Chain A
Amino acid sequence: MSENGLTSYREDGVTPALLVEAGTFSGPLDLLLALIREEQLDIYDIPIARICEQFLRHIHALRLNDAADYLEMAARLLRIKAQMLLPSTNGADLWEDPRAELVRRLLEYQQMREVVDVLQRRGELRRNQFARSYVQASLLPPPPTALALSLSELLGAVDRILRAVREPTMHEVVARPLDVPAAIMAIRAVLALRSHARWSDLVADDAEPWQILSTLLGILELAKLGELRVSQQKPFASVDIVRDVAGEAA
Protein backbone atom coordinates (compact mmCIF):
# COMPACT_ATOMS: atom_id res chain seq x y z
CA MET A 1 0.00 0.00 0.00
CA SER A 2 1.54 3.22 1.16
CA GLU A 3 5.04 1.73 1.17
CA ASN A 4 4.86 1.69 -2.59
CA GLY A 5 2.94 4.91 -2.85
CA LEU A 6 5.94 7.19 -2.64
CA THR A 7 8.71 7.17 -5.13
CA SER A 8 11.43 9.71 -5.34
CA TYR A 9 12.06 11.31 -8.66
CA ARG A 10 14.28 14.02 -9.98
CA GLU A 11 13.02 16.51 -12.50
CA ASP A 12 15.48 18.67 -14.38
CA GLY A 13 17.91 18.65 -11.53
CA VAL A 14 15.41 20.07 -9.04
CA THR A 15 15.53 18.76 -5.52
CA PRO A 16 14.02 15.32 -5.26
CA ALA A 17 10.34 15.51 -4.57
CA LEU A 18 7.86 12.78 -3.95
CA LEU A 19 5.68 11.38 -6.64
CA VAL A 20 2.40 10.13 -5.43
CA GLU A 21 0.17 7.77 -7.29
CA ALA A 22 -3.44 8.62 -6.71
CA GLY A 23 -5.52 5.96 -5.08
CA THR A 24 -2.65 4.43 -3.14
CA PHE A 25 -3.64 6.15 0.08
CA SER A 26 -6.68 5.26 2.05
CA GLY A 27 -6.94 8.71 3.64
CA PRO A 28 -5.10 11.81 4.81
CA LEU A 29 -3.64 10.06 7.87
CA ASP A 30 -2.26 7.34 5.61
CA LEU A 31 -0.56 9.96 3.43
CA LEU A 32 0.75 11.80 6.47
CA LEU A 33 2.22 8.60 7.91
CA ALA A 34 3.82 7.75 4.57
CA LEU A 35 5.44 11.19 4.50
CA ILE A 36 6.72 10.81 8.05
CA ARG A 37 8.13 7.39 7.25
CA GLU A 38 9.67 8.59 4.00
CA GLU A 39 11.35 11.55 5.68
CA GLN A 40 12.29 9.38 8.68
CA LEU A 41 10.78 11.87 11.08
CA ASP A 42 10.14 11.35 14.77
CA ILE A 43 6.42 11.03 15.11
CA TYR A 44 6.56 12.72 18.52
CA ASP A 45 8.42 15.71 17.15
CA ILE A 46 7.05 16.42 13.71
CA PRO A 47 8.44 19.51 11.97
CA ILE A 48 4.99 20.87 11.21
CA ALA A 49 6.02 23.54 8.69
CA ARG A 50 7.91 21.01 6.59
CA ILE A 51 5.30 18.26 6.73
CA CYS A 52 2.53 20.75 6.05
CA GLU A 53 4.25 21.98 2.91
CA GLN A 54 4.85 18.41 1.73
CA PHE A 55 1.27 17.47 2.44
CA LEU A 56 -0.10 20.41 0.45
CA ARG A 57 2.18 19.62 -2.46
CA HIS A 58 0.88 16.06 -2.52
CA ILE A 59 -2.77 16.82 -2.41
CA HIS A 60 -2.22 19.15 -5.34
CA ALA A 61 -0.65 16.28 -7.25
CA LEU A 62 -3.23 13.75 -6.14
CA ARG A 63 -6.45 15.35 -7.34
CA LEU A 64 -8.33 12.84 -5.24
CA ASN A 65 -12.05 12.26 -5.35
CA ASP A 66 -12.36 12.63 -1.63
CA ALA A 67 -10.07 15.63 -1.53
CA ALA A 68 -12.28 17.26 1.09
CA ASP A 69 -10.89 14.90 3.73
CA TYR A 70 -7.37 15.81 2.67
CA LEU A 71 -8.13 19.51 2.63
CA GLU A 72 -9.50 19.27 6.14
CA MET A 73 -6.24 17.71 7.27
CA ALA A 74 -4.27 20.43 5.47
CA ALA A 75 -6.28 23.07 7.31
CA ARG A 76 -5.60 21.28 10.58
CA LEU A 77 -1.86 21.24 9.88
CA LEU A 78 -1.87 24.94 9.06
CA ARG A 79 -3.69 25.67 12.30
CA ILE A 80 -1.15 23.71 14.31
CA LYS A 81 1.62 25.54 12.49
CA ALA A 82 0.02 28.87 13.42
CA GLN A 83 -0.46 27.81 17.03
CA MET A 84 3.18 26.83 17.30
CA LEU A 85 4.21 30.30 16.19
CA LEU A 86 2.12 32.02 18.82
CA PRO A 87 3.88 32.81 22.07
CA SER A 88 2.43 31.03 25.07
CA THR A 89 0.64 33.30 27.51
CA ASN A 90 0.61 30.77 30.32
CA GLY A 91 4.31 30.32 30.63
CA ALA A 92 6.37 27.31 29.60
CA ASP A 93 5.00 24.96 32.25
CA LEU A 94 1.47 25.04 31.05
CA TRP A 95 2.38 25.04 27.39
CA GLU A 96 0.50 22.34 25.61
CA ASP A 97 2.00 21.07 22.40
CA PRO A 98 -0.53 21.85 19.66
CA ARG A 99 0.68 18.73 17.91
CA ALA A 100 -0.40 16.40 20.73
CA GLU A 101 -3.83 15.70 19.27
CA LEU A 102 -2.36 14.99 15.85
CA VAL A 103 0.24 12.65 17.35
CA ARG A 104 -2.48 10.79 19.21
CA ARG A 105 -4.50 10.37 16.04
CA LEU A 106 -1.48 9.25 14.04
CA LEU A 107 -0.54 6.65 16.63
CA GLU A 108 -4.11 5.44 16.87
CA TYR A 109 -4.25 5.18 13.10
CA GLN A 110 -0.94 3.36 12.96
CA GLN A 111 -2.14 0.90 15.56
CA MET A 112 -5.22 0.24 13.52
CA ARG A 113 -3.05 -0.35 10.46
CA GLU A 114 -1.27 -3.09 12.36
CA VAL A 115 -4.61 -4.76 12.95
CA VAL A 116 -5.32 -4.40 9.23
CA ASP A 117 -2.15 -6.37 8.56
CA VAL A 118 -3.34 -9.13 10.87
CA LEU A 119 -6.75 -9.22 9.20
CA GLN A 120 -5.19 -9.21 5.77
CA ARG A 121 -2.98 -12.18 6.64
CA ARG A 122 -5.80 -14.13 8.23
CA GLY A 123 -8.25 -13.25 5.47
CA GLU A 124 -5.82 -14.49 2.86
CA LEU A 125 -5.50 -17.81 4.69
CA ARG A 126 -9.23 -18.35 4.75
CA ARG A 127 -9.70 -17.09 1.20
CA ASN A 128 -7.60 -19.99 0.01
CA GLN A 129 -9.88 -22.58 1.52
CA PHE A 130 -13.35 -23.45 0.39
CA ALA A 131 -16.19 -24.47 2.64
CA ARG A 132 -19.23 -26.43 1.71
CA SER A 133 -21.99 -24.18 0.49
CA TYR A 134 -25.53 -25.27 0.77
CA VAL A 135 -28.70 -23.28 0.51
CA GLN A 136 -32.05 -24.92 0.91
CA ALA A 137 -33.41 -25.33 -2.61
CA SER A 138 -36.92 -24.16 -1.76
CA LEU A 139 -35.58 -20.83 -0.54
CA LEU A 140 -33.96 -20.04 -3.84
CA PRO A 141 -35.75 -18.36 -6.71
CA PRO A 142 -35.43 -20.37 -9.94
CA PRO A 143 -31.94 -19.71 -11.24
CA PRO A 144 -31.96 -17.19 -14.06
CA THR A 145 -30.44 -19.09 -16.93
CA ALA A 146 -28.18 -17.24 -19.28
CA LEU A 147 -29.85 -16.32 -22.54
CA ALA A 148 -28.13 -18.73 -24.89
CA LEU A 149 -29.10 -17.71 -28.41
CA SER A 150 -27.71 -18.72 -31.72
CA LEU A 151 -27.41 -16.19 -34.50
CA SER A 152 -30.15 -17.88 -36.50
CA GLU A 153 -32.56 -17.64 -33.57
CA LEU A 154 -31.81 -13.98 -33.28
CA LEU A 155 -32.29 -13.38 -36.99
CA GLY A 156 -35.47 -15.44 -36.81
CA ALA A 157 -36.78 -13.14 -34.11
CA VAL A 158 -35.99 -10.07 -36.20
CA ASP A 159 -37.71 -11.71 -39.11
CA ARG A 160 -40.84 -12.39 -37.03
CA ILE A 161 -41.01 -8.79 -35.96
CA LEU A 162 -40.55 -7.49 -39.47
CA ARG A 163 -43.22 -9.85 -40.73
CA ALA A 164 -45.63 -8.68 -38.08
CA VAL A 165 -45.40 -5.15 -39.43
CA ARG A 166 -48.28 -4.52 -41.78
CA GLU A 167 -48.03 -2.87 -45.15
CA PRO A 168 -45.41 -0.21 -44.94
CA THR A 169 -46.97 3.20 -45.04
CA MET A 170 -45.00 6.23 -45.90
CA HIS A 171 -44.81 8.93 -43.28
CA GLU A 172 -43.21 12.23 -43.09
CA VAL A 173 -40.94 11.85 -40.12
CA VAL A 174 -41.00 14.65 -37.63
CA ALA A 175 -38.21 14.32 -35.11
CA ARG A 176 -39.69 14.15 -31.64
CA PRO A 177 -37.26 14.45 -28.78
CA LEU A 178 -37.37 11.70 -26.16
CA ASP A 179 -38.83 12.62 -22.82
CA VAL A 180 -37.08 10.30 -20.36
CA PRO A 181 -37.82 12.32 -17.17
CA ALA A 182 -41.57 12.10 -17.83
CA ALA A 183 -41.25 8.37 -18.54
CA ILE A 184 -39.37 7.90 -15.25
CA MET A 185 -42.15 9.70 -13.41
CA ALA A 186 -44.73 7.48 -15.07
CA ILE A 187 -42.80 4.29 -14.18
CA ARG A 188 -42.36 5.44 -10.59
CA ALA A 189 -46.07 6.16 -10.37
CA VAL A 190 -46.90 2.64 -11.55
CA LEU A 191 -44.35 1.02 -9.23
CA ALA A 192 -45.58 3.12 -6.31
CA LEU A 193 -48.92 1.35 -6.55
CA ARG A 194 -47.59 -2.15 -6.99
CA SER A 195 -44.27 -3.85 -6.63
CA HIS A 196 -44.47 -5.78 -9.86
CA ALA A 197 -45.22 -4.59 -13.36
CA ARG A 198 -44.99 -5.74 -16.91
CA TRP A 199 -43.87 -3.91 -19.99
CA SER A 200 -47.48 -3.70 -21.18
CA ASP A 201 -48.44 -1.88 -17.96
CA LEU A 202 -45.95 0.85 -18.71
CA VAL A 203 -46.48 1.30 -22.43
CA ALA A 204 -49.88 1.81 -23.97
CA ASP A 205 -50.79 -0.28 -27.02
CA ASP A 206 -50.89 2.77 -29.24
CA ALA A 207 -47.66 4.25 -27.90
CA GLU A 208 -45.51 6.05 -30.38
CA PRO A 209 -41.89 5.08 -30.92
CA TRP A 210 -40.61 8.07 -28.93
CA GLN A 211 -42.78 7.02 -26.00
CA ILE A 212 -41.57 3.42 -26.20
CA LEU A 213 -37.96 4.54 -26.35
CA SER A 214 -38.43 7.01 -23.47
CA THR A 215 -39.96 4.29 -21.33
CA LEU A 216 -37.17 1.85 -22.19
CA LEU A 217 -34.50 4.40 -21.29
CA GLY A 218 -36.46 5.27 -18.15
CA ILE A 219 -36.51 1.64 -17.05
CA LEU A 220 -32.79 1.26 -17.65
CA GLU A 221 -32.09 4.47 -15.75
CA LEU A 222 -34.18 3.37 -12.77
CA ALA A 223 -32.54 -0.05 -12.83
CA LYS A 224 -29.19 1.69 -12.72
CA LEU A 225 -30.36 3.77 -9.77
CA GLY A 226 -31.39 0.56 -8.03
CA GLU A 227 -35.07 1.43 -7.87
CA LEU A 228 -36.21 -1.55 -9.87
CA ARG A 229 -35.00 -4.84 -11.25
CA VAL A 230 -35.67 -6.26 -14.65
CA SER A 231 -35.70 -9.97 -15.27
CA GLN A 232 -36.77 -12.47 -17.87
CA GLN A 233 -37.48 -16.12 -17.14
CA LYS A 234 -36.53 -17.37 -20.58
CA PRO A 235 -35.67 -15.91 -23.97
CA PHE A 236 -38.48 -13.80 -25.43
CA ALA A 237 -40.66 -14.22 -22.36
CA SER A 238 -42.37 -11.10 -21.10
CA VAL A 239 -40.11 -8.83 -19.09
CA ASP A 240 -40.84 -8.57 -15.38
CA ILE A 241 -40.23 -5.18 -13.82
CA VAL A 242 -39.94 -5.49 -10.06
CA ARG A 243 -39.61 -2.68 -7.53
CA ASP A 244 -36.26 -3.15 -5.83
CA VAL A 245 -37.05 -3.14 -2.13
CA ALA A 246 -33.40 -3.52 -1.12
CA GLY A 247 -32.36 -0.52 -3.19
CA GLU A 248 -35.25 1.51 -1.84
CA ALA A 249 -34.36 0.78 1.79
CA ALA A 250 -30.74 1.83 1.39
Chain B
Amino acid sequence: MTSLAKLLEAALFASARPISFDELSALDLDASPAGVRSALDEVREHYDVEGHGVELVEIGEGWQILTRAEYTEAIERAQLAARPQRLSAAALESLAIIAYRQPIGRAEIEEIRGVAVGGVLKSLHERGLIDVVGRGEGLGRPLLYGTTPAFLEQFALRHLDELPRADELNIALRAHAGVTMTGVKTVTVT
Protein backbone atom coordinates (compact mmCIF):
# COMPACT_ATOMS: atom_id res chain seq x y z
CA MET B 1 0.00 0.00 0.00
CA THR B 2 1.08 3.57 -0.52
CA SER B 3 1.97 5.60 2.53
CA LEU B 4 -1.19 7.68 2.14
CA ALA B 5 -3.32 4.53 2.15
CA LYS B 6 -1.56 3.36 5.28
CA LEU B 7 -2.19 6.73 6.95
CA LEU B 8 -5.89 6.59 6.10
CA GLU B 9 -6.10 3.02 7.32
CA ALA B 10 -4.54 3.98 10.65
CA ALA B 11 -6.95 6.90 11.09
CA LEU B 12 -9.95 4.76 10.19
CA PHE B 13 -8.81 2.13 12.65
CA ALA B 14 -8.39 4.66 15.45
CA SER B 15 -11.77 6.30 14.99
CA ALA B 16 -14.95 5.08 16.64
CA ARG B 17 -17.19 6.81 14.07
CA PRO B 18 -17.19 7.17 10.28
CA ILE B 19 -14.61 9.72 9.07
CA SER B 20 -15.73 12.16 6.42
CA PHE B 21 -13.82 12.77 3.21
CA ASP B 22 -12.77 16.22 4.41
CA GLU B 23 -11.43 14.83 7.64
CA LEU B 24 -9.51 12.17 5.76
CA SER B 25 -8.09 14.79 3.38
CA ALA B 26 -6.94 16.88 6.35
CA LEU B 27 -4.67 14.05 7.48
CA ASP B 28 -2.21 14.83 4.73
CA LEU B 29 -2.36 18.39 3.46
CA ASP B 30 -0.27 17.49 0.42
CA ALA B 31 -2.76 14.89 -0.76
CA SER B 32 -5.11 15.78 -3.60
CA PRO B 33 -8.81 14.76 -3.46
CA ALA B 34 -8.12 12.27 -6.24
CA GLY B 35 -5.18 10.93 -4.27
CA VAL B 36 -7.31 10.42 -1.15
CA ARG B 37 -9.98 8.73 -3.24
CA SER B 38 -7.58 6.28 -4.80
CA ALA B 39 -5.95 5.64 -1.42
CA LEU B 40 -9.38 4.75 -0.03
CA ASP B 41 -9.91 2.38 -2.95
CA GLU B 42 -6.53 0.90 -2.19
CA VAL B 43 -7.46 0.20 1.44
CA ARG B 44 -10.80 -1.30 0.40
CA GLU B 45 -9.24 -3.52 -2.22
CA HIS B 46 -6.55 -4.53 0.20
CA TYR B 47 -9.23 -5.86 2.57
CA ASP B 48 -11.35 -7.41 -0.15
CA VAL B 49 -8.69 -9.00 -2.31
CA GLU B 50 -6.44 -10.31 0.39
CA GLY B 51 -9.45 -11.48 2.38
CA HIS B 52 -9.58 -9.71 5.71
CA GLY B 53 -12.04 -10.10 8.61
CA VAL B 54 -12.88 -6.42 8.27
CA GLU B 55 -13.98 -4.29 5.37
CA LEU B 56 -13.99 -0.61 4.49
CA VAL B 57 -17.54 0.68 4.18
CA GLU B 58 -18.88 4.02 2.96
CA ILE B 59 -21.44 4.94 5.56
CA GLY B 60 -22.78 7.89 7.54
CA GLU B 61 -21.29 10.56 5.26
CA GLY B 62 -17.86 9.00 5.60
CA TRP B 63 -15.85 5.83 5.73
CA GLN B 64 -15.59 3.27 8.49
CA ILE B 65 -13.87 -0.05 9.05
CA LEU B 66 -16.42 -2.70 10.04
CA THR B 67 -16.15 -6.38 10.84
CA ARG B 68 -17.57 -8.69 8.23
CA ALA B 69 -21.08 -9.98 8.93
CA GLU B 70 -20.08 -13.64 8.89
CA TYR B 71 -18.05 -13.25 12.10
CA THR B 72 -20.78 -11.49 14.09
CA GLU B 73 -22.19 -14.62 15.69
CA ALA B 74 -18.84 -15.79 16.98
CA ILE B 75 -17.87 -12.37 18.31
CA GLU B 76 -21.18 -12.00 20.09
CA ARG B 77 -21.05 -15.53 21.47
CA ALA B 78 -17.68 -14.75 23.02
CA GLN B 79 -19.23 -11.58 24.49
CA LEU B 80 -16.58 -9.36 22.96
CA ALA B 81 -19.21 -7.08 21.49
CA ALA B 82 -23.00 -7.08 21.43
CA ARG B 83 -25.35 -6.19 18.63
CA PRO B 84 -27.60 -3.27 19.54
CA GLN B 85 -31.23 -4.04 20.26
CA ARG B 86 -33.58 -3.81 17.33
CA LEU B 87 -35.97 -0.88 17.31
CA SER B 88 -39.66 -1.55 17.83
CA ALA B 89 -42.06 -1.18 14.91
CA ALA B 90 -43.46 1.97 16.53
CA ALA B 91 -39.98 3.49 16.85
CA LEU B 92 -39.10 2.63 13.25
CA GLU B 93 -42.31 4.23 11.98
CA SER B 94 -41.61 7.46 13.83
CA LEU B 95 -38.00 7.40 12.67
CA ALA B 96 -39.04 6.89 9.04
CA ILE B 97 -41.37 9.89 9.24
CA ILE B 98 -38.69 12.06 10.83
CA ALA B 99 -36.12 10.98 8.23
CA TYR B 100 -38.39 12.12 5.41
CA ARG B 101 -40.07 15.18 6.85
CA GLN B 102 -37.36 16.71 8.99
CA PRO B 103 -37.51 19.13 10.63
CA ILE B 104 -40.82 17.89 11.98
CA GLY B 105 -42.79 18.40 15.19
CA ARG B 106 -44.40 15.80 17.38
CA ALA B 107 -47.96 16.69 16.35
CA GLU B 108 -47.24 16.02 12.68
CA ILE B 109 -45.71 12.62 13.46
CA GLU B 110 -48.75 11.75 15.55
CA GLU B 111 -51.02 12.88 12.72
CA ILE B 112 -49.34 10.48 10.29
CA ARG B 113 -49.06 7.55 12.66
CA GLY B 114 -52.40 8.03 14.38
CA VAL B 115 -50.94 7.40 17.83
CA ALA B 116 -49.20 9.36 20.57
CA VAL B 117 -45.44 9.28 20.10
CA GLY B 118 -44.02 11.03 23.18
CA GLY B 119 -42.40 7.93 24.67
CA VAL B 120 -41.07 6.74 21.33
CA LEU B 121 -39.42 10.10 20.63
CA LYS B 122 -37.78 10.03 24.03
CA SER B 123 -36.25 6.61 23.41
CA LEU B 124 -35.12 7.55 19.88
CA HIS B 125 -33.47 10.61 21.39
CA GLU B 126 -31.80 8.54 24.07
CA ARG B 127 -30.40 6.22 21.43
CA GLY B 128 -28.95 9.26 19.68
CA LEU B 129 -30.91 8.67 16.47
CA ILE B 130 -32.81 11.95 16.54
CA ASP B 131 -32.16 15.36 17.98
CA VAL B 132 -33.99 18.62 18.45
CA VAL B 133 -33.04 20.78 15.48
CA GLY B 134 -35.18 23.83 16.11
CA ARG B 135 -38.55 25.19 17.09
CA GLY B 136 -41.65 25.49 14.95
CA GLU B 137 -43.67 28.60 14.28
CA GLY B 138 -47.02 27.44 15.63
CA LEU B 139 -48.64 27.62 19.02
CA GLY B 140 -46.20 26.92 21.84
CA ARG B 141 -43.31 26.91 19.39
CA PRO B 142 -43.10 23.10 19.24
CA LEU B 143 -39.74 21.30 19.21
CA LEU B 144 -38.71 20.13 15.77
CA TYR B 145 -36.82 16.89 15.36
CA GLY B 146 -34.31 15.69 12.81
CA THR B 147 -32.08 12.67 12.36
CA THR B 148 -28.47 12.56 13.56
CA PRO B 149 -25.26 11.23 11.94
CA ALA B 150 -25.71 8.17 14.17
CA PHE B 151 -28.98 7.47 12.35
CA LEU B 152 -27.18 7.25 9.01
CA GLU B 153 -24.53 5.02 10.54
CA GLN B 154 -26.95 2.65 12.24
CA PHE B 155 -29.04 2.24 9.12
CA ALA B 156 -26.10 1.75 6.77
CA LEU B 157 -26.89 4.89 4.81
CA ARG B 158 -24.22 6.99 3.15
CA HIS B 159 -26.39 10.09 3.29
CA LEU B 160 -30.09 10.95 3.56
CA ASP B 161 -30.49 11.07 -0.22
CA GLU B 162 -29.94 7.34 -0.26
CA LEU B 163 -33.43 6.75 1.12
CA PRO B 164 -35.87 6.02 -1.70
CA ARG B 165 -37.60 9.12 -3.01
CA ALA B 166 -41.37 9.31 -2.69
CA ASP B 167 -41.92 8.57 -6.38
CA GLU B 168 -39.71 5.51 -6.12
CA LEU B 169 -41.95 3.94 -3.51
CA ASN B 170 -44.55 1.45 -4.68
CA ILE B 171 -47.43 3.41 -3.27
CA ALA B 172 -47.16 6.89 -4.64
CA LEU B 173 -49.66 9.37 -3.31
CA ARG B 174 -51.85 10.10 -6.27
CA ALA B 175 -55.50 10.72 -6.91
CA HIS B 176 -57.59 7.82 -8.07
CA ALA B 177 -60.18 8.13 -10.81
CA GLY B 178 -62.93 6.75 -8.62
CA VAL B 179 -62.70 9.20 -5.77
CA THR B 180 -62.77 12.95 -5.69
CA MET B 181 -59.58 13.55 -3.84
CA THR B 182 -60.06 17.14 -2.84
CA GLY B 183 -57.43 18.54 -0.58
CA VAL B 184 -54.98 15.83 -1.38
CA LYS B 185 -51.48 17.08 -1.74
CA THR B 186 -48.73 14.97 -3.14
CA VAL B 187 -46.19 14.75 -0.42
CA THR B 188 -42.87 16.05 -1.52
CA VAL B 189 -40.07 14.19 0.07
CA THR B 190 -36.63 15.61 -0.03
Contact = CB atoms under 8 A, between A and B. Distances in A.
A45 B187 contact: no
A42 to B, nearest CB: 8
Contacts of A73: 114
Main DSSP-derived SS at the A contact region: helix
B114 A111 contact: no
19 contacts: A26-B88, A29-B113, A29-B114, A45-B178, A69-B116, A97-B180, A100-B183, A103-B181, A110-B171, A111-B172, A112-B100, A115-B163, A116-B89, A119-B92, A122-B157, A123-B154, A127-B154, A128-B83, A132-B13
Give the residue among B14, B17, B69, B72 with the most A Cβ atoms within 10 A.
Answer: B69
Interface string B106-134: 00000011111000001000000000000
Interface residues of B, number: 58
Main DSSP-derived SS at the B contact region: loop
Given A26-B90, A29-B113, A69-B114, A112 B16 contact: no
A1 interface: yes
Interface stretch (B25-33, B44-52, B58-66, B135-143): B58-66
B170 interface: yes
Contacts of A112: 93, 96-97, 100, 112-113
Interface string A100-113: 11011101111111
Interface string B159-184: 00001101001111100101111111
A86 interface: no
Interface in A31-51: 42, 44-45
Contacts of B116: 66, 68-69
Interface in A80-120: 95-97, 99-101, 103-105, 107-116, 118-120
Give the residue among B97, B169, B170, B183 with the most A Cβ atoms within 10 A.
Answer: B169
Contact of A44 (B163, B172, B176): B176
B90 A116 contact: no
Which size bracket describes the interface of A in this complex?
35 or more
B68 interface: yes
A-B pairs, 6 with minimum CB distance:
A129-B66, A27-B115, A115-B96, A126-B156, A44-B176, A128-B69
A134 interface: yes
A95 to B, nearest CB: 7
A109 B114 CA distance: 9
B166 A111 contact: yes
A127 B83 contact: yes
A250 interface: yes
Give the residue among A95, A113, A131, A133 with the most B Cβ atoms within 10 A.
Answer: A131
Contacts of A127: 83-84, 86, 154
A128 B82 CA distance: 10
A117 to B, nearest CB: 9
